[in-house]
Each structure stands twice: as C-alpha cells, then as structure tokens.
C-alpha cells in the first residue's frame, strides 16, 4: 500500500470544514458547499485510487481530468435545458442574486459532476477487482453493429427527441436513458470505450462500476444538498412525499443510469474533440 498523498488529506479537510460550516451556517460554506465539498471529494477519491493502484487521474492524466471538468459543464447544461423546457423535474432555491456570481457557481458545480462519477468508479473498481489493471491495458476495438445495435440507436434517438416534443415530468426516465442507447453503439462502432464493446468481449466490470458509482454519488449529492441554503428541490410525480433527504425515493433509481449516461456522453465528446492521451474510464 502506497503512502496516502497530501492532496488527499487536503480534500478530506475541505469536506470536513465545509460540512461543519454548513451546520454552523457559516459563509461561504452554507451557500457554496456543493462545489466546495465536491472539489474536496475529487481530491480525496483520486488519492484513494493512487494509494491502491499507483495510477490516478490527477497523477497520471491531469490534462484530461481538466478536459473532463470542462466537458461536464455543457453536458449538464443539456440536462438543464431538458429540465427547463420539458421534464420540469427540479428547481433551485437560494441562488446568488448577482447573475455573474450565480453563473460562476453553476459552472463550478457542474464541472465537478462527471469527474466525481469517474473518480468514484475508479475507487469502486480498485476495491472490486485487482485484476482490473490488466483490462486497462487492452485498448477497445471497433465493433460491427448488427440490427440490434442500430435498433438501439433508433430507440435512443426517439427517447431523446420525444421529451422535446412532449413536456411532462413522466418522461424524465427517457432523458436519463436515451443518450445511452443513442450514443454507446456509435462509440463502439468508432472503436471507443463502450458498454456494447464490453459486452461483446464478455466484460461487465465497467458497467457495474459505473452503476455503483452513480448510486454512491447520488446519495452523497442528496446528503450534501439537504443541509445547505443553495439547493435543488425535486418534482417527481410518483411517491413524491416518500423521500430520502430532498429526493423522492424512486428518484434514486435514476442515479446509476445517469452515471452510465455521463460515461457514454463524455466518450462521444472525447473521441470528437480530445487529441491527447486518453485514460480508460471506470475499469
């Protein structure tokens, strides 16, 4: 076991101090806890992975981690657009009145979403299977899409288009699943990392790691969201009053596929825009 890095201790300290500030209602933590704590979490999770594997995003792929954070912002804004104009599943309270500060808060918070999921998936992977390092060294290969793969693309296209035309919270699941069906087969066909490609190679580890990471991150998101002044409130049409923190209990079922969707969407962005060394995700 390697020595735990200093930045991991810093991340843990940031989380503890920020959470204490929330409970004491001390600024800036009471209103800015979400981006502050998740920044600390990313540092802490990365340090855990480094300690167990000797390889991590910050130590070995810092430039791509920055790219992941940058990509996370517009990808989440896409979901915000769905929410605003179609599914109306959540809204925010306690936002800063100054627009520039509000947008800075949005950008910082959104930039932590996908990095946190990927870091958590790496932690899960390091705990589940020490043989994963061998799989990480094997690059993906292009996959021939049969009629099933193209049918998935067609179903996914319908799932992401229908909520644009039909506005109801009942179509939230279509948004959280549609991009997986639409983009993952195309990523597989292009020879990028994909769930479809993993299936063809009879591997399920990445999918399991992402599903667990989504649930873990979802629980932490809701725990940290519950106590703060700047927060989101949900509009879930089924069992809306049966909640864990602010989230109606059935809503937690959306976090695992959301993590997979973040993976699929990021891989799409990466193969189109990223020209550096690519880090294997969630294996």
State which residues of the chain have pLDDT below 50. Answer: 133-134
Cα torsion angle, 218, 219, 222, 228, sign: negative
What pLDDT is attached to residue 243?
A: 66
Range list of β-strands (E), 121-269: 231-234, 243-244, 247-248
What pLDDT is attached to residue 135?
A: 52
Element (H, E) at 91: strand 90-93
Element (H, E) at 90: strand 90-93
φ, ψ of residue 234 to 5 degrees: the values are -100, 155
User: What's the rounded Cα separation, in Å, for the pair 187 and 208?
Assistant: 19
236 CB-near residues (< 8 Å, 6+ apart): 89, 169, 172, 247, 248, 250, 251
What pLDDT is attached to residue 249?
A: 75
Element (H, E) at 92: strand 90-93
Element (H, E) at 45: helix 29-53
End-to-end CA distance of the chain: 19
- Determine contact, residues 65/56, Cβ cutoff 8 Å: no
Query: What is the Cα gyration radius of the chain?
Result: 19
Strands 90-93 and 231-234: antiparallel
Structure tokens of 70?
Answer: 């940058």
What pLDDT is attached to residue 144?
A: 87
């Amino acid at each position: 076991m390697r020595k735990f890095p200093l930045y991991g201790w810093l991340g843990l300290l940031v989380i503890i101090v920020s959470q204490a500030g929330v409970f004491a209602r001390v600024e800036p933590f009471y209103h800015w806890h979400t981006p502050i704590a998740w920044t600390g979490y990313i540092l802490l999770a990365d340090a855990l992975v480094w300690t167990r594997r000797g390889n991590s995003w910050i130590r070995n792929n810092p430039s791509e981690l920055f790219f992941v954070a940058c990509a996370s912002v517009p990808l989440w804004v896409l979901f915000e657009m769905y929410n605003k104009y179609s599914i109306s599943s959540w809204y925010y309270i306690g936002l800063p009145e100054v627009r520039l500060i509000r947008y800075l808060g949005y950008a910082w918070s959104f930039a932590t979403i996908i990095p946190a999921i990927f870091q958590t998936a790496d932690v899960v992977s390091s705990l589940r299977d020490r043989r994963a390092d061998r799989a990480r060294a094997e690059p993906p290969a292009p996959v021939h899409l049969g009629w099933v793969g193209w049918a998935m693309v067609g179903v996914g296209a319908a799932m992401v288009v229908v909520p644009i035309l039909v506005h109801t919270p009942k179509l939230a699941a279509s948004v959280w699943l549609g991009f997986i069906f639409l983009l993952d087969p195309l990523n597989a066909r292009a020879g990028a990392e994909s769930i479809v490609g993993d299936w063809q190679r009879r591997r399920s580890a990445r999918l399991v790691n992402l599903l667990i990471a989504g649930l873990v991150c979802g629980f932490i998101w809701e725990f940290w969201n519950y106590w703060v002044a700047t927060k989101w409130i949900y509009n879930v049409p089924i069992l809306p009053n049966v909640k864990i923190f602010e989230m109606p209990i059935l809503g937690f079922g959306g976090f695992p596929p959301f993590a997979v969707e973040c993976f699929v969407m990021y891989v799409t962005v990466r193969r189109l825009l990223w020209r550096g060394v690519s880090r294997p995700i969630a294996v």
